[in-house]
Amino acid sequence: MQYFDPESFKDIEIAPGFTAHFVHTGNMTFSYWTINAGAELPGHFHPHEQVVNMIEGKFELTVDAETKILTPGAVVIVPPNATHSGKAITDCRILDVFHPVREDYRR
Amino acid sequence: MQYFDPESFKDIEIAPGFTAHFVHTGNMTFSYWTINAGAELPGHFHPHEQVVNMIEGKFELTVDAETKILTPGAVVIVPPNATHSGKAITDCRILDVFHPVREDYRR
C-alpha cells in the first residue's frame, strides 16, 4: 500500500486564499483544499472529470451557467471541459478528485 | 453539472456495521461509509484501484501483510487486486474512491 500520514502533508498556496496538498495515483489526483472565506476561483476548465466533495463550510459553485451553494456532504460532478468558478462563503475544506491525473498539479 | 444534495442520500447497509451511499461518475465510484465501532471487513480484493480517505474516527487497515492505524486526514492507495481487510476501532466515516466504476455497487 501507499500510506500517507496526515502529519506528513505540507499545504501550498495555489491561488490567493486557496491552499492544498495533493495525492496522485495511477489514475486520479486528489486535492485537499483549505479555502479562506471570501476567496474566489475565476472561471476555468480542463479536460479532466472532477468530483467536488464538500467537507466543511459553505461554497458557491458555478458550472456552466448553473450555481449551487454547497454544504457539507454535497457532491458535484463537473464534466470534462465544463467552465466552473467558485467563491468561499465561509472558510471551507473541499476534496476534489480528478480523472485522469492532473499532471499540472505535480510539483 | 450533476449536483447531489446532502439530504438526498439514503444510506444502505452493505455489511454488518458498514452503511454507505454511492456516487458513480463516468470513471469512478465514490463510497461514503459510516462504520460502527468494532465492525470488521474480511479480506477481499478487486481489480479496481482504491483510495481510502479517512474522514472521522480510527480504523485499522491491512493491505497485503501491512497494517496501519488510520486517523482523520490519512490517505491510503490500495493497488488493484491487493488483498485488504479492516476493523473500525471507533465509529468512523471514510470516503473510498474507486477507478474504474464499481459496477457491483450500482443498485
Using the beta-carbon criterion (under 8 Å), do B99 and A25 form an inter-chain contact?
yes
Collapsing DSSP to helix, strand or coil, B103 comes out as helix
Instruction: For chain A, 107 residues long, give each residue's pLDDT as a single digit of tens.
Output: 999 999 999 999 999 999 999 999 999 999 999 999 999 999 999 999 999 999 999 999 999 989 999 999 999 999 999 999 999 999 999 999 999 999 999 87
Q: What is the dihedral of CA B72, B74, B77, B83, to 10 degrees?
A: -70
How far apart (Å, rounded) are the C-alpha atoms in residues A97 and B12?
24
Read off the pTM. Answer: 0.96
Give residue-wise pLDDT tens across range B25-70.
Answer: 999 999 999 999 999 999 999 999 999 999 999 999 999 989 999 9
User: Chain B 54-93, CB below 8 Å of chain A: which residues?
Assistant: 54-55, 61, 63-64, 66, 68, 71-79, 82, 84
User: What value of ipTM does the predicted structure carry?
Assistant: 0.95
How is the beta sheet containing B59-63 ordered, strand by strand? B40-44, B84-88, B59-63, B66-70
Using the beta-carbon criterion (under 8 Å), do A77 and B25 form an inter-chain contact?
yes
The cell for A55 is 467537507
Q: Are B21 and B49 in contact (CB under 8 A)?
A: no
Return the number of other C-beta atoms located less than 10 Å from residue B91's C-beta: 15
The cell for A64 is 456552466
pLDDT top residue among B35 and B107: B35
Return the number of other C-beta atoms located less than 10 Å from residue A38's C-beta: 12
From chain A, the residues in CB contact with B23 under 8 A are: 51, 75, 77
Give the closest residue to A34 by CA, choosing from A49, A55, A60.
Answer: A55
The domains located in chain B, with CATH, are 37-100 (2.60.120.10)
The rounded mean pLDDT for chain B is 96
Return the amino acid letter for A50: Q
